Amino acid sequence: MLKTAGVTFPLDAYEAAPEQQDALTRAQNALTGRCMTRFGFVFHAPEQPPVAASESNARVFGLADPDTAARYGYQNPSMVNAPRQRGSDRQLTEAEELALMGEDDLNPADMPSNLEDAEKGGGSDVKLNGQRLPIGGCVRESFLKLYARKANEVDILFVFNLKSEADSKALEDSRVRAVSKRWSECMAKAGYTVADPMKAAREMGFSEGTLSSARAITAAKADVRCKQQVNLVGVRYAVTVAYQKQLIEKHAETLSLAKQQLESRLTLAASLTR
């Protein structure tokens, strides 16, 4: 397995794809704008450059593409080619900041965890333009309206946490440990002392400004070559997929709910951004 750009994992089916996440971001911005309008303000949403689906998972196991290594070294090309975000130079007024983010000294534990609880509470004790401000401001209100409408909604981070658990299990797996060791030995023959395929650039001392230097490109090409020789990406992928499948079986009921709620969320998002 030589590249990971565009590959999918079993748990991907239970969370928003890149283009769907773009739609959800636009929907939350729309909800934030509606909230700000209630208090007499205009909300200017920050620009969000879209993530190409073909680039998703491109570096899930570190640098793996020989063409990218030869051209960019360890520098992520998506960062090099990313369009500059246009932002407003105008600073928010104190009242706008309050409406958007809520009180500065708010304890996260005091914020409602779902929209039902937020609506029962009626908002914070702070009034702005004659209306009670939502706890956590318009940003929190928009999040709850899109991601946590009811008390029984699956945590928005549930699938992310399962992916992290699968990754952790894979890293401890004897097969992954063995292939990482073979990669390290291959790199040693090429003149590099590195132990972690995911931290190779850091272990070799490349900083942000030198990730695409001639020396970094030479090292990156050796890195990818060694990954190919030992099939590091293929082993990591197969083992990670296996652990994800185990977790899907273990949490099938909750994941089914998560998928239903995602579809409902996307339907809502579509209605907000027509």
Return mean pLDDT, the chain. Answer: 91
SS3 content of the chain, % helix, strand, coil (to 5): 60, 0, 35
Q: Average the pLDDT over 107-117 and give the result.
A: 88
58 assigned to some structural domain: no
pLDDT at site 84: 52
**How far is CA 193 from each of CA 175, 187, 221, rounded to the nearest angstrom?**
21, 7, 15
Q: Average the pLDDT over 46-53 and give the result.
A: 68
DSSP string, 163-220: HHHHHHHHHHSHHHHHHHHHHHHHHHHTT-----GGGHHHHTT--GGGTTSHHHHHHH
Domain that holds residue 255: 10-53+90-272
- Rg of the Cα atoms in the chain: 23
Averaging pLDDT over each range in 92-96, 125-129, 255-259, which range is the top one?
Answer: 255-259
Q: Average the pLDDT over 116-133 and give the result.
A: 91
pLDDT at site 87: 47
Q: Average the pLDDT over 208-232 and give the result.
A: 96
Residue 51 has pLDDT above 50, yes or no: yes
Q: Average the pLDDT over 164-185 and give the result.
A: 98
Query: Is 144 or 47 the better-scoring residue by pLDDT?
Result: 144
69 assigned to some structural domain: no
pLDDT at site 90: 67
Give Dmax (Cα) for the chain. Answer: 71
Pair 149, 185: CB distance under 8 Å: no
Query: Is 87 or 253 the better-scoring residue by pLDDT?
Result: 253
Residue 68 has pLDDT above 80, yes or no: yes
208 assigned to some structural domain: yes
Euclidean distance between CA atoms 246 and 267, whole angstroms? 30
pLDDT at site 137: 94
83 assigned to some structural domain: no
2 assigned to some structural domain: no
> Which residues face 127 on adjacent strands?
132
160 assigned to some structural domain: yes
Per-residue pLDDT tens for 227-271? 999 999 999 999 999 999 999 999 999 999 999 999 999 999 999
| Residue 200: how many other CB atoms lie within 10 Å | 24
82 assigned to some structural domain: no
Query: Is 16 or 86 the better-scoring residue by pLDDT?
Result: 16
> Is the pTM higher than 0.85?
yes
Output the six-digit token pair for 108: 């996260």
Domain tally, the chain: 1
Mean pLDDT check: name the lowest of 8-22, 76-90, 153-167: 76-90
80 assigned to some structural domain: no
